[in-house]
């Protein structure tokens, strides 16, 4: 299939909030059942040949939760061979929550970990998933396309990761923000101000340049590639970016943004995305004082 097929936000803007909350329900299990890794690397989802996965977690039993975005089912497999699943189409978030609790129980996992679980950093964060009958739109074709695009971007980010010799995160799909990202780190420890929450302290304990992709939301209703540097060095938003990319204010900082349609219109989509990531990384890392040349990977 073509690299970076069309995935306009408006064409599945009703499905995105439902799917995002499905992912967050699964993510809550992942958070509870996996041992902490630095920068919360234990928490995100990862790509498979059919959808996304938590990867194995837990010890009694060991199990994994997989989204199958071809057959559109949620599948739970335990290490001892027990398995259970249910369809995704036609379910509200409340129905998905109930289905996952029942499916976990069927393979010997305590589903009470989801008791009272709520969305993270979404407008309905005060409403338990179990009470959410509002979000129930699920377009199977759009969801399959989402997974296909996510898989392609995953490989572009893997290629970008190979150009750096320093510490990097895995390429992973964040269920809380519903994006996919790769983060490069320096050794510089970040001193956070008093009152900074635990999540931020752990995620940004070192200087980072993060590169990723998201599908859009009501505040930015179009898919786009992005990059940011944290903490943001002074003057970053004045640095040049490749044609079609721009700096966008996001709260108190800036994102380098390459709209998806700009990449799709380029003669070489792969090269356009990789050049954008590299330019934004170099801008942030250089201003932050990293030794960019020494950290570059040059194959023998």
Give the model confidence (pLDDT) of 123-173 as tens digits: 999 999 999 999 999 999 999 999 999 999 999 999 999 999 999 999 999
Q: At what angle do helices 269-288 and 140-161 cross, to 10 degrees?
A: 50
Is the pTM higher than 0.85? yes
The edge-to-edge listing of strands for the beta sheet with 51-53 is: 46-47, 51-53, 63-68, 73-78, 83-87
Give the model confidence (pLDDT) of 47-83 as tens digits: 999 999 999 999 889 999 999 999 999 999 999 999 9
pLDDT at 277: 98
Find out whether 286 and 255 touch, Cβ atoms under 8 Å: no
Give the model confidence (pLDDT) of 83-130 as tens digits: 999 999 999 999 999 999 999 999 999 999 999 999 999 999 999 999
């Amino acid at each position: 299939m073509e690299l970076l097929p069309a995935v306009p936000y408006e064409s599945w803007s009703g499905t995105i909030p439902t799917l995002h909350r499905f992912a967050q329900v699964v993510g809550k299990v992942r958070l509870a059942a996996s041992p902490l890794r630095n920068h919360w690397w234990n928490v995100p989802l990862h790509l498979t040949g059919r959808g996304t996965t938590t990867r194995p977690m837990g010890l009694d039993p060991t199990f994994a939760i997989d989204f199958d975005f071809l057959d559109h089912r949620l599948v739970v497999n335990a290490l001892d061979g027990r398995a259970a699943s249910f369809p995704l189409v036609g379910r509200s978030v409340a129905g998905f929550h109930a289905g996952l609790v029942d499916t976990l129980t069927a393979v010997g996992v305590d589903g009470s970990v989801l008791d009272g679980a709520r969305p993270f950093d979404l407008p309905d964060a005060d409403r338990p998933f179990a009470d959410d009958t509002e979000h129930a739109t699920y377009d199977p074709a759009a969801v399959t396309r989402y997974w296909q695009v996510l898989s392609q971007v995953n490989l572009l980010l893997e290629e970008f990761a190979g150009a750096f010799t320093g510490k990097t995160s895995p390429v992973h799909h964040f269920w809380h923000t519903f994006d996919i990202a790769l983060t490069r780190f320096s050794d510089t420890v970040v001193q956070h101000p008093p009152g900074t929450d635990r999540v931020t302290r752990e995620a940004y304990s070192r200087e980072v340049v993060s590169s990723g992709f998201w599908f859009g939301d009501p505040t930015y209703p179009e898919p786009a590639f992005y990059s940011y540097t944290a903490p943001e060095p002074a003057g970053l938003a004045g640095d040049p970016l490749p044609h079609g990319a721009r700096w966008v204010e996001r709260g108190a900082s800036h994102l380098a943004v390459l709209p998806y349609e700009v990449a799709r219109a380029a003669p070489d989509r792969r090269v356009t995305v990789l050049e954008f990531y590299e330019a934004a990384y170099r801008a942030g890392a250089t201003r932050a004082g990293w030794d960019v040349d020494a950290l570059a990977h040059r194959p023998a």
